[in-house]
Amino acid sequence: MRLNLSLKYPQIIRSALLLGAFAVAGTSGVVLVHHQTKERIAANERAELLRSLHEIIPDSAYDNDIVKDSLQVTAEALDGKEPSTIYLARKRNLPVGAVLTAVAPAGYNGSIKLLVGIYYNGSLAGARVVSHRETPGLGDKIEIRRDPWITIFDGRSIGDPPIAKWKVRHDSGVFDQFTGATITPRAVVNAIRQSLLYFDQHKEELFMGRPEQKSNE
Ligand X SMILES: Cc1cc2nc3c(=O)[nH]c(=O)nc-3n(C[C@H](O)[C@H](O)[C@H](O)COP(=O)(O)O)c2cc1C
**Where do contacts with ligand X occur on this chain (CB under 6 A)?**
108-109, 134-135, 138-139, 170, 177, 180-184
Supply the minimum distance, in Å, between the C-beta of residue 176 and ligand X: 11
Question: Rounded CA gap, 17 and 8, in Å?
Answer: 13
Question: Cβ closer to ligand X: 116 or 189?
Answer: 189
Supply the minimum distance, in Å, between the C-beta of residue 99 and ligand X: 25
Task: Catalogue the long-range contacts made by 30-37 (C-beta closer than 8 Å, 24 or more residues apart).
Answer: none
Supply the minimum distance, in Å, between the C-beta of residue 110 and ligand X: 10
Supply the minimum distance, in Å, between the C-beta of residue 39 and ligand X: 38
Question: Cβ closer to ligand X: 148 or 180?
Answer: 180
Give the residue among 132, 101, 130, 111 at the shortest CA–CA distance from 194: 101
Question: Cβ closer to ligand X: 97 or 185?
Answer: 185
Supply the minimum distance, in Å, between the C-beta of residue 132 and ligand X: 9
Q: Are 123 and 155 in contact (CB under 8 A)?
A: yes
Q: Are 209 and 101 in contact (CB under 8 A)?
A: no
Question: Cβ closer to ligand X: 115 or 181?
Answer: 181
Supply the minimum distance, in Å, between the C-beta of residue 181 and ligand X: 3
Give the residue among 204, 169, 203 at the shortest CA–CA distance from 99: 203
Distance of CA 31 to the CA centre of its chain: 29
Question: Rounded CA gap, 101 and 74, in Å?
Answer: 11
Question: Cβ closer to ligand X: 84 or 177?
Answer: 177
98 φ, ψ (degrees, to nearest 5):
-145, 150
Question: Cβ closer to ligand X: 95 or 139?
Answer: 139
Question: Rounded CA gap, 210 and 207, in Å?
Answer: 8
User: Which residue, judged by CB position, is nearest to ligand X in the bound state?
Assistant: 139
Q: With H, G, I as helix, E, B as strand and everything else as coil, classify residue 84.
A: strand
